């Protein structure tokens, strides 16, 4: 769990640091960093996407999973939940909601930090062989992102450390149970699905296209089910 704790602390500490020193960072510096980070994230997403063992399965999983997510309006549900909480916080403080409140920032940041396949791969590695390498790399990336996001979106980014810790911690604990079912082939396709989601996140950060990544989340379940069905019919 060392990797999980490190990741959560990196997010919280750097977001708080960004909140308090953000006004001291020149706008041009923030803008440049906000361009470089999503570009790096997108390249990482491309690298992961290319690791697919059976890309047709990845495509099918994303198509079916995104269709399910869109039908359920997962992205809309996240957005409405964040707006509702922000409205209540603003009402209690006697203020008005302008822009993104802390809960909206927390939810948006949580999606960014949790949806990547690095969280899944890191949890599997940590749970199965105690390796924290992937989590340490993820901590550096998430920490840099939190620093910039904390200065622009506020203290809500630090709150995203809580769901990130719970999500990754649960995956680590579950990895022992899942070990017999996770083959190298399945892991490669899960990595590819996550990589495409990370690429989509980059498009959103750069405001090129809002691809509603939350609606793609069911694709992780679909790719597992497809592999399970293929394994069943092979016997």
Q: pLDDT tens digits for 8-21?
A: 999 999 989 888 88
Q: Identify which has the larger pLDDT, 226 or 108.
A: 226
- Those residues whose C-beta lies under 8 Å from the C-beta of residue 180, and which sit 6 or more positions away, are none
d(CA 91, CA 70): 31
Give tens-digit pLDDT for 125-138.
787 767 787 788 78
Give the Å distances, CA to CA, from 101 to 16, 82, 106, 141, 200.
15, 8, 9, 24, 23
d(CA 180, CA 40): 33
Output the pLDDT for position 7: 93
d(CA 79, CA 212): 10
**Quick check: 99 pLDDT over 80?**
no
d(CA 235, CA 230): 9
- Those residues whose C-beta lies under 8 Å from the C-beta of residue 46, and which sit 6 or more positions away, are 195, 199
Give tens-digit pLDDT for 171-205.
888 877 776 777 888 888 888 888 888 788 788 87
Output the pLDDT for position 135: 87
Q: pLDDT above 70 covers what percent of the chain?
A: 82
Looking at residue 100, the DSSP 8-state letter turns out to be -
**Quick check: 100 pLDDT over 60?**
no
The pTM assigned to this predicted structure is 0.70
26-35, 89-98, 129-138, 169-178: least confidently modelled range: 89-98
d(CA 62, CA 189): 11
**Quick check: 216 pLDDT over 70?**
yes
Three-state secondary structure of 198-209? HHHHHHHHCCCC
């Amino acid at each position: 769990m060392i990797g999980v704790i490190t990741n959560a602390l990196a997010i919280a500490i750097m977001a708080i640091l960004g909140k308090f020193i953000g006004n001291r960072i020149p706008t041009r510096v923030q803008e440049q960093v906000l361009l470089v980070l999503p570009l790096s994230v997108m390249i990482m997403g491309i690298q992961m996407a290319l690791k697919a063992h059976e890309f047709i399965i990845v495509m099918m999983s994303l198509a079916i999973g995104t269709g399910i997510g869109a039908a359920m309006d997962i992205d809309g549900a996240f957005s409405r939940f964040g707006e509702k909480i922000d409205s209540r916080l603003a009402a209690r403080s006697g203020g008005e909601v302008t822009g993104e409140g802390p809960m909206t920032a927390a939810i948006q940041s949580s999606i960014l930090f949790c949806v990547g396949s690095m969280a899944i791969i890191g949890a599997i590695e940590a749970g199965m062989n105690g390796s924290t390498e992937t989590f340490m790399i993820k901590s550096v990336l998430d920490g840099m992102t939190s620093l910039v996001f904390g200065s622009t979106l506020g203290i809500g980014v630090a709150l995203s450390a809580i769901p990130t810790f719970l999500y990754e911690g649960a995956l680590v604990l579950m990895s022992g149970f899942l070990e017999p079912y996770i083959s190298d082939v399945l892991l490669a396709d899960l990595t590819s699905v996550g990589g495409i989601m990370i690429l989509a996140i980059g498009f959103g950060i750069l405001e090129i296209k809002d691809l509603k990544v939350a609606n793609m989340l069911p694709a992780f379940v679909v790719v597992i089910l497809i592999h399970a069905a293929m394994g069943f019919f092979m016997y």
